[in-house]
Amino acid sequence: MKTLRIIFFAVFFVGFLIPHASAQKQVVKKDFRFTVKTNPLAALGGPFWVTIIPITGEYKINFEVATTKKQSFQLGASYLGPSVLINLEEISSSSEEEVGGVKINGFRLQGTYKFFVTRNTTSPEGFYVGPYISYASMKMENKDFTEDNVSGKKITYDAVLGYQLITEGGFTMDVFTGFGLRTLKWDYEDEDVTTFEVFKSKNAGHVALGFSFGFAF
């Protein structure tokens, strides 16, 4: 009889602990709905390049919100300044005597709608596909030779594939690639400035590749 009571209490104790432990585990696991991310390496090269030379550096932040169980929307905003890899004065002038103070300012807006396809995760985590659009505008000014000023506009349309990792602590890393089309248009205040012959307006194919990291909450 004593043995039966011990078995009974043991079964009761285990039966109580299992659901209680499961409940505790569910409480600890967070249901992330938002992410905030950036990429410091974008300061090396933004959306505007001349051949293989980055003209702009990008300082951006991305904000993402889960819209449904398997979908999310991400909006990015960036300030465009000079790339830290190049001296813009050398591009805007053909000789040292013509070098003036050069500054560059611009902005970029990006939007991505993500459809998450990983079976055992919910947005905003896992593999995803979706459309991506970007609009960027910049102006490069020479304060001593205003006729040398040049501005550019770039619109990009891509289909992207990516993976977003979110740890239990909320650290987030987003890696993606894709392909699409881009429209690039340059405007000059002086059409006869030969130093700007490398700036060509064009429509072309585009390959997307990037990553960002931040936090989820």
Measured in degrees and rounded to the nearest 5, phi and psi for residue 191 equal -65, -15
- Number of H helices and E strands in the chain, helices first, is 2, 10
Question: What DSSP element (H or E) covers 158?
Answer: strand 150-166
- Report pLDDT digits (tens) over 179-190: 999 999 988 766
When mean pLDDT is compared over 1-5, 15-19, 103-107, 199-203, the highest value belongs to 103-107
- Report pLDDT digits (tens) over 88-114: 555 544 444 444 567 889 999 999 999
pTM for the structure as a whole: 0.76
Chain centre to alpha carbon of residue 67? 18
In CATH, the number for domain 31-216 is: 2.40.160
Mean pLDDT of 8-18: 43
Domain ranges of the chain: 1-29, 31-216
> Where does the pLDDT of residue 169 fall: very low under 50, low under 70, confident under 90, or very high at 90 and above?
very high
- Report pLDDT digits (tens) over 197-209: 567 778 989 899 9
